[in-house]
Amino acid sequence: MTTGHDEDAETEAASGDTARYRASVPDMDCASCASKVERSVREEAGVESVDPRPTTGTLVVEYDPGTTTADAIRGRVDAAGYDVAETTTETFAVPSMDCSSCAGTVESALSRIEGVLDYDARPASGRVAVTYAPERATRGDVVAGIENAGYDVVESEDESPSAWRSRRALKTGLGAVLLVAGIAVEYLGLPNPVVAGVLGRSLTLDWVLYVLAAAVAGQSILRNGWYSVRARSLDIDFLMSAGVVGAVAVDLPFEAATLAVLFSISELLERYSMDRARTSMSELMDLSPDTATVRREDEEETVPVDSVAVGDRVVVRPGERIPVDGVVRDGRSAVDESPITGESVPVDVDSGDEVYAGSIVEEGYLEVETTAPAAESTLAKVVDLVADAERDKSERERFIDRFASYYTPVVVALALVTALGPPLVVGAPLETWFTRGLTLLVVACPCAFVISTPVSVVSGITSAARNGVLIKGGDRLEAMGDVTAIALDKTGTITTGELGVTDVVALNGRDEDDVLRCAAALERRSEHPIAAAIVAAADDRDLPDRDVTDFQSITGEGVRANLDGTTHYAGKPGLFADLGFDLEHAHVEADGGVVVDPATCEHGAYLDLVNDVVPRLQGAGKTVVLVGTEERLEGVVAVADTVRPEAERTVARLRELGIDRIAMVTGDNERTAHAIASQVGIDEVHADLLPEEKVAVVREMTETAESEAEARLPWNRGGGGVAMVGDGVNDAPALATATVGVAMGAAGTDTAIETADVALMGDDLTRLPYLVDLARRANRVIETNVWSSLGVKAALAAAAPFGLVSVVHAVVIGDMGMSLAVTGNAMRLANVSPEDEE
């Protein structure tokens, strides 16, 4: 169970570009007060609707978040002379709430509690998020409301017994035994004496056994049905209770017992399958340890992880999980960050490096200085966002909810007509037609196709989180599956975002190490990124430093210094041309890896730097630095933002998945952009773009993708779309404009995690095709689940009035069978992994 922070109100997404603001206004307790508040709030620009509710002291406002804010609306309430009360958001674990019908019953019960402002029941994860005003409702009131609806609230899901060890399972088993005994007495010729007589009717042993089976196995059904009556909810519990009671009332005890036992087994199987679906989420939550070893005043003590404060030093030994986000202050180790980034290869960390909660220390000893409380760690944010994923419903899920709101009443009405119409109109046998109506009543349950989407969403999003991909909700997962075009930023996405030496060309008798050592000595005192890349390359080769004196920066050209007493230069080709060098004729013994055939003269092989080497390097998007003395040119060093090794394969894999339009959008120059794009297989390049120009490109791509999708499937409005992949900060406007914004390398970056629709936690571009593949499979699974369950329900509904199917068929196939089928199909999403992409 988790508790949210206190806040003045609850703000949530409503629909489209509209947001909803809910607030508790205790003093707004009459129509006059409500009118005053409404007039004041309507004066705020951007407010679209105002719904004051004086009977509950609640204010609901829908507004345009691009025009106004929740704080501004609160100010208008204050201006009317009314205080907005503080609210608390808390999430309750309700493991027995495992279907949409259960969720509806819980929400109906919560809606009647004064002081409860908002609620969100999530059956796929077995949780209920409730926002309430502590001044008007207590936590105990909320718990009582949920439990009065027939569902137990537990402090920990570990307290809840498994489906097959619950009291309901025991009662169902006893009911099944009684049902089998009744069948044996009735059909196998066993003694069937009269047990009792009631109102002139003799009750035989088989009748008693059937009724006892219905009463024992149906106890939970009847209890929940009573709660549904109180909540005025036309749900599965009410329908099954009506069926059991009605069957006994018209003297059909066998049908009543069969319905009670089979439906109870169905509910247990559904609970079991939902528990399996929830296991992956529980595993994600268990990644962070409950305790931490803290060093205080040279002593170690083990404390609850929630009590670790920012600045505390946490001790982590080999094999242990890091309990908090922090910075290494002592020690060195390889750390498995796969719980956060999905990367299976451990990374080496040393003093000053960041580490994340949930990571595993492979070897060595670390002391980590805490930089964030446990509740605000990167892992905690991932868990919270995954747990909230059910809140943002996909378009398919909203369609199913709308359909179910019509489907159930229509089929219930058809069941009543079937059960009562023929006997009353034409005198047909009541027993026959009541049984057929009872079958239709079972078919009226929409559980299978209503649960088909949320269980798929939870399975897909949880699987993605375990592989280092954070998807912010079911609507984003659905949208990603519909994407037909992708825009990629260059720096930090296609490339690493870090400059590195790519080529070294040794000239005039020097070798590569000589050239790089000389260049590094000259550049070591510079703070320019190119200089840092050259120095890093020399350090990687462990090249010794040289004695540097009289260092001088030549503005716009390069640098000059004495190395071991000899004047050297490093800089642009123009600097050496000004020094009088013939750059068209530089002698070489090897080309340093540059694909240029040297020419020959009487003195040996030479290169034309001006017309061949330098243009070719610059054409590949590289910056060229020449190195030499006043008398001799010693070599050429090329520096570039290095392309990610997986970038080319990623682009190819995206095309295999059907993403035909892949574009690079970058603020870099045209030459560099085209050079990088050609290396990775991208043929559409938009370069030299300002942030607002990136937005325009993404908007054009989105409009084109959506229009092409509509042309292919005219009935599928809203299909198509564009995913924009960037760093989550510099590309924020373009990410917000795209259908789906995907941030790279988001681990430890709050802005990216909070603003992007999808966050790739690690710097691994292979997660992008994995994301596309997962999202598309999720959409296919959802569509398969929905249409198969609808098809089965339709077939059963059509056959039931003609007596072609029985209550057994309706429960075993239409309810139990389809619920298990859609859940099992959804669980297949857990098998999609990035390794498939690699």
- The answer to whether the CB of 643 falls within 8 A of the CB of 680 is yes
- The answer to whether the CB of 75 falls within 8 A of the CB of 23 is no
Give the lowest-confidence range in 47-61, 515-529, 780-794: 47-61
CA 70, CA 76: separation in Å to the nearest integer? 10
Give the lowest-confidence range in 40-44, 195-199, 810-814: 195-199
On the question of pLDDT at 281 being above 50, the answer is yes
- The answer to whether the CB of 770 falls within 8 A of the CB of 470 is no
CA 296, CA 314: separation in Å to the nearest integer? 9
Beta bridge partners of 600: 605
On the question of pLDDT at 275 being above 80, the answer is no
Averaged pLDDT for residues 440-459: 79
Tokens 């097959």 correspond to: 164
- The answer to whether the CB of 488 falls within 8 A of the CB of 701 is no
Residues labelled catalytic? 489
Of residues 391 and 429, which shows the higher confidence score? 429
pLDDT score for 294: 92
Q: How far apart are the first and last CA of the chain?
A: 38
> Is residue 402 very low, low, confident or very high in pLDDT (cuts 50, 70, 90)?
confident
Of residues 664 and 158, which shows the higher confidence score? 664
pLDDT score for 484: 92
CA 573, CA 615: separation in Å to the nearest integer? 11
> Is residue 175 very low, low, confident or very high in pLDDT (cuts 50, 70, 90)?
very high
CA 217, CA 212: separation in Å to the nearest integer? 8
In this structure, the number of other CB atoms found within 10 A of the CB of residue 542 comes to: 7
Give the lowest-confidence range in 162-166, 408-412, 535-539, 548-552: 162-166
Which tens digits make up the pLDDT trace of 304-359? 888 888 889 999 998 888 999 999 999 988 888 877 776 667 888 888 888 988 88
pLDDT score for 2: 45
> Is residue 594 very low, low, confident or very high in pLDDT (cuts 50, 70, 90)?
very low
On the question of pLDDT at 1 being above 50, the answer is no
Averaged pLDDT for residues 130-149: 85
Q: Which amino acid does the sequence have at 57?
A: G
Beta bridge partners of 296: 299
Ranked by mean pLDDT, the top range of 103-112, 454-463, 616-625, 675-684 is 675-684
On the question of pLDDT at 177 being above 50, the answer is yes
- The answer to whether the CB of 181 falls within 8 A of the CB of 209 is yes
On the question of pLDDT at 40 being above 50, the answer is yes
pLDDT score for 597: 60
Averaged pLDDT for residues 812-834: 82
User: What's the Rg (C-alpha) of the chain?
Assistant: 35
pLDDT score for 727: 73
pLDDT score for 278: 61
Within the chain, how many helices (H) and strands (E) appear? 28, 34
- The answer to whether the CB of 141 falls within 8 A of the CB of 158 is no
Question: CA angle 347-348-350, nearest 5°?
Answer: 140
> Is residue 388 very low, low, confident or very high in pLDDT (cuts 50, 70, 90)?
low
pLDDT score for 569: 92
> Is residue 589 very low, low, confident or very high in pLDDT (cuts 50, 70, 90)?
low
pLDDT score for 830: 81
CA 725, CA 682: separation in Å to the nearest integer? 14
Q: Which amino acid does the sequence have at 352?
A: G
Give the lowest-confidence range in 122-136, 290-304, 523-537, 703-717: 703-717
> Is residue 719 very low, low, confident or very high in pLDDT (cuts 50, 70, 90)?
low
Averaged pLDDT for residues 1-15: 46
Reported pTM:
0.70
pLDDT score for 480: 93
Q: Where are the beta strands (DSSP E) in 572-694?
A: 586-587, 599-601, 604-607, 623-629, 633-643, 661-665, 684-686
Which tens digits make up the pLDDT trace of 13-29? 444 467 778 887 878 87
Which tens digits make up the pLDDT trace of 465-522? 888 888 887 888 889 999 999 999 888 889 887 888 888 888 888 888 989 999 999 9
> Is residue 389 very low, low, confident or very high in pLDDT (cuts 50, 70, 90)?
low
pLDDT score for 593: 45
Q: What percentage of the chain carries pLDDT values higher than 90?
A: 15
